[in-house]
Amino acid sequence: MSNIRLIARLDVKGPNLVKGVQLEGLRKIGDPNVFAKEYYDQGIDELIYIDIVASLYERNNLLEIVRRTTKDVFIPLTVGGGLRTVENVRDVLRAGADKVAINTAAIKRPELIREISKRFGSQCMVLSIEAKKVREGKWEAYYDNGREKTGIDVIEWAKRGYEHGAGEILLTSVDMEGTAKGFDIDLVKAASDAVPIPLIASGGMGNVNDMINVINDGCADAIAMAHVLHYKKLTIQEVREYAASRNVNVRRLKLWSR
Amino acid sequence: MERIGRPKMINYSMFELNETMLNAKYGLPSEIKYCRSCVISNQRPNSTVEYQHTQKSKKETIHFDEEGVCDACRFAQSKNKTIDWKQREQELIELCNKYRKNDGSYDCLIPGSGGKDSFYAAHILKYKYGMHPLTVTWAPHIYTPWGWKNFQAWLNAGFDNFLCTPNPRTHRLLTRLAVENLFHPFQPFIFGQKSLAPKMALLHDIKLVFYGENEAEYGNPISDTSTAKRDWKYFTAEDKSKVYLGGVSLEALESNFGVESVDLLPYIPADPDEIERKKVEVHYLGYYLRWHPQECYYYAVENGGFKPSPERTVGTYSKYNSIDDKIDDFHYYTTYIKFGIGRSTYDAAQEIRNEEITREEGVALVKKFDGEFPERFAEEIFQYLSIPERDFPVAFKRFEQPMMDRDYFMALTDTFRSPHLWKRVYGSWKLRHPIYEE
């Protein structure tokens, strides 16, 4: 079994790292580069940058932040938000990103998934899904940072995304995001049962047990954290040590050798 | 007695591109300007005394200073810089000490809906400042499911509450009249929102009423805020013969529309003499505590079960403010038609003042969302605005077309457009001077 990856998710708006609750009411936290460097130094496995208002404003201005980050952060970096074309993706990868996360543009034109994975490889095509619970066992995909409904069933969409060539899925629960009340485990389980590609669970982590639950019961391949890190409720070291103590395969690293 | 006729055909020539005789309705400024700091325009009316609001009323509008900055922005700047909030909190503590009771009775009254702002106000007064509040709520026209849940979550955070629901038949009639006469579907709600709290305070012998934010935050004259006591005129009408609801006098409502005086009880404000005699004081918590809407949202989520709506509100980008009444979408649609100011403009202006977004972002949001037609609840609202004979045997006769439908509403909409704001371009309506074309 491969390692469970620990990922710090950084939502960015303009020059600021921000954090919402259920993707709403975005609070300014600080300079994203400072936080990214800090998480890297603490030993995070990967970083995700999402410009969460890019689609809303139809703009994309993460390039500069990506360039600055990749100067002193040497772990896989996924970048999303407002990427609409293969050219947008190329620019982000050239700026130093390793993978791209696509939501809005893929919903509007699913062929984009295939175009990106064909051109750059499926390993770099992360399908980002914002899932809102409709009822027990049923979720609807949203876009524009949890603002717009699609009528599309999340599990069906995950399957289609996989068929189109997505190499990974970033699955965010709109209901749990920012609440620190735990992941939507049923959602993660349903999606991970439906597709064979790696699945990053995002939204709701409030403590280390939430992580264990979504790994053991939800079969997540990776954990995205934001609230607990940004508000300094947990360190990455604490998370990693706890995971190891509960027999979860995580990367064992000699910290501080960096 | 004449009937209320179907909307008249409008004269399209007034809305032609090159028309120069551009009359401004409602006493609005004829030249449209936008605040240099936020996105509000000089067309934004101040809060008025709704009891005197008729078809002939002229609006007073938001004041811009010589640098082209609106009063609301100036207020926000002073709030952020010049006000000594420690001192203000001390004033609040003294106020609470003066009124606090420990004899098993309520010591303050807090009106609210259970939205993020009233959640914050009630919760912090009870749990931080040790007060014993009674909360009162004036029901929305039609609850949204999430609005009702948030209302319940508020009470579950530990509050007694009286919910006042006006007779829905009367409320529907008044709403229809307010739409016909003033294009102001939200007006019947405003009556109760402003008058319920003082009346309930008198009824329960509570001397202290707390409102949340000060209205000056949104651009009523700054002089209003020098004292936290709410201007009496907003909720006291001294002579009841001067009172209009939905632009119709009380007398006409009773004689022409089959409304009994008892039906109007919920809308009649408190007697100012009695308020004075019983020494009821009305204060804005926003005077004492720095009000930050987004932090109220966080507070309500963390201290209760507040949830944003499950979808973006029509006409804007937000999900967390003013989400409990299905008529709200129409309220902001009508302000867009009458003043060129939709919900996104109001939301963005507020967020710019609170430094959540930049003006550039605000302009983009206005361009993207302002004025969106409120499709999601439209059919339900048209039914609500209809006056069928079975429910309204008298009022029914006073409408040429009692049943509201989409065609009627759209025709009515056009009669409220002001030529100085609107133009016709290839058969569709455009603002003459939108902020994104500045």
Residue B349 located in a structural domain: yes
Which of B298, B310, B365 lies nearest to residue A25, judging by beta carbons? B298
Inter-chain residue contact A24 with B312, CB threshold 8 Å: no
Across A39-43, A88-92, B17-21, least confident range: B17-21
Q: For B134-162, give the DSSP string.
A: EEEEEPPSSB-HHHHHHHHHHHHTT-EEE
pLDDT at B219: 58
Inter-chain residue contact A146 with B319, CB threshold 8 Å: yes
pLDDT at B218: 60
Residue recorded with tokens 């930049």: B358
Q: In this complex, is the C-beta atom of A57 within 8 Å of any C-beta atom belonging to chain B?
A: yes
Burial environment of residue B67 by CB neighbours within 10 A (0 to 12, 13 to 18, 19 or more): exposed
Number of Cβ within 10 Å of residue B97's Cβ equals 10
Burial environment of residue A65 by CB neighbours within 10 A (0 to 12, 13 to 18, 19 or more): buried
Question: pTM of the full predicted structure?
Answer: 0.89
| Residue B303, phi then psi, degrees to nearest 5 | -100, 0
Contacts of B318 in chain A (CB under 8 A): 24
- Closest-CA distance, A148 to chain B, in angstroms, reads 6
Residue recorded with tokens 């955070």: B157
Residue B261 located in a structural domain: yes
pLDDT at B221: 55
Which of B310, B356, B364 lies nearest to residue A132, judging by beta carbons? B310
Across A9-23, A199-213, B16-30, least confident range: B16-30
Q: Which of B85, B157, B92 is nearest to B129 (CA)?
A: B92
- A130 in catalytic set: yes
Q: Mean pLDDT across the stretch A83-104?
A: 95
Contacts of A27 in chain B (CB under 8 A): 294, 298
Residue A28 located in a structural domain: yes
Nearest-angstrom CA–CA distance, B137 and B164: 6
Q: Which residues contact A94 (CB under 8 A, 6 or more apart)?
A: none
- Domain of residue B397, residue span: 37-405
Q: In this complex, is the C-beta atom of A113 within 8 Å of any C-beta atom belonging to chain B?
A: no
Q: How many domains does chain B have?
A: 1
Q: Which of B416, B407, B343 is nearest to B180 (CA)?
A: B416
pLDDT at A257: 47
Of the listed A11, A45, A51, A184, which one is catalytic? A11
Residue B213 located in a structural domain: yes
Residue A250 located in a structural domain: no
Residue B179 located in a structural domain: yes
Of the listed A45, A46, A51, A130, which one is catalytic? A130
Which of A27, A146, A149 lies nearest to residue B298, judging by beta carbons? A27
pLDDT at A62: 85
Contacts of A14 in chain B (CB under 8 A): 358, 361
Residue A258 located in a structural domain: no
Residue A138 located in a structural domain: yes
Q: In this complex, is the C-beta atom of A25 within 8 Å of any C-beta atom belonging to chain B?
A: yes
pLDDT at B275: 81
Nearest-angstrom CA–CA distance, A42 and A37: 9
Q: Which of A176, A137, A202, A172 is nearest to B307 (CA)?
A: A176
Q: Mean pLDDT across the stretch A222-233?
A: 97
Q: Which residues contact B35 (CB under 8 A, 6 or more apart)?
A: B41, B42, B64, B68, B69, B70, B72, B73, B349
Inter-chain residue contact B320 with A25, CB threshold 8 Å: yes
Q: Which amino acid is at B117?
A: D
Contacts of A26 in chain B (CB under 8 A): 294, 356
Number of Cβ within 10 Å of residue A64's Cβ equals 11
Mutate to test the interface with B, among A16, A21, A143 (most CBs of B within 10 A): A21
- The CATH number of whichever domain residue A109 belongs to comes to 3.20.20.70
Across A86-95, A192-201, A217-226, B40-49, least confident range: B40-49
How confident is the model over A116-132, as pLDDT tens digits? Answer: 999 999 999 999 999 99
Residue B225 located in a structural domain: yes
Contacts of A147 in chain B (CB under 8 A): 311-312, 317, 319
Which of A21, A57, A149 lies nearest to residue B301, judging by beta carbons? A21
- Domain of residue A168, residue span: 5-245
| One-letter-per-residue 3-state SS of B114-127 | CCHHHHHHHHHHHH
pLDDT at A1: 58
Written as six digits, the tokens of B103 are 């004899």
Q: Which residues contact B360 (CB under 8 A, 6 or more apart)?
A: none
Which of A14, A144, A149 lies nearest to residue B358, judging by beta carbons? A14
How confident is the model over B328-350, as pLDDT tens digits? Answer: 999 999 999 999 999 999 999 99
Contacts of A53 in chain B (CB under 8 A): 361
- Closest-CA distance, B234 to chain A, in angstroms, reads 31
Written as six digits, the tokens of B4 are 């209320």
Q: In this complex, is the C-beta atom of A179 within 8 Å of any C-beta atom belonging to chain B?
A: yes
Which of A21, A132, A148 lies nearest to residue B298, judging by beta carbons? A21
Size of chain B, expressed as the number of residues it contains: 438
- Asked whether the beta carbons of B144 and B309 are under 8 A apart, the reply is yes
Nearest-angstrom CA–CA distance, B433 and B168: 39
Inter-chain residue contact B298 with A144, CB threshold 8 Å: no
- Asked whether the beta carbons of A182 and A210 are under 8 A apart, the reply is yes
Q: Which of B398, B428, B392, B413 is nearest to B169 (CA)?
A: B392
Interface size, chain A vs chain B, as Cβ–Cβ contacts under 8 Å: 44
Residue B14 located in a structural domain: no
Q: For B354-373, give the DSSP string.
A: TTSS-HHHHHHHHHHHTT--
Residue A253 located in a structural domain: no
Written as six digits, the tokens of A27 are 């609070």
Inter-chain residue contact A22 with B307, CB threshold 8 Å: yes
Residue recorded with tokens 């009172």: B243
- Closest-CA distance, A24 to chain B, in angstroms, reads 7
Q: Which of B330, B385, B324 is nearest to B169 (CA)?
A: B385
Q: Which of B435, B421, B437, B341 is nearest to B29 (CA)?
A: B421
Number of Cβ within 10 Å of residue B185's Cβ equals 25
Inter-chain residue contact B318 with A24, CB threshold 8 Å: yes
Residue B429 located in a structural domain: no
- Asked whether the beta carbons of A172 and A202 are under 8 A apart, the reply is yes
B90: left (phi over 0), alpha (psi -120 to 50) or beta: alpha
Contacts of A58 in chain B (CB under 8 A): 364
| Residue A250, phi then psi, degrees to nearest 5 | -125, 160
Low-confidence ranges of chain B (pLDDT < 70): 1, 19, 215-241
Mutate to test the interface with A, among B301, B303, B375 (most CBs of A within 10 A): B301
Residue recorded with tokens 């699913």: A110
pLDDT at B240: 56
Inter-chain residue contact B308 with A25, CB threshold 8 Å: yes
Mutate to test the interface with B, among A11, A18, A24 (most CBs of B within 10 A): A24
Give the helix/strand (H/E) hosting A16. Answer: strand A16-21
Which of A21, A28, A147 lies nearest to residue B312, judging by beta carbons? A147
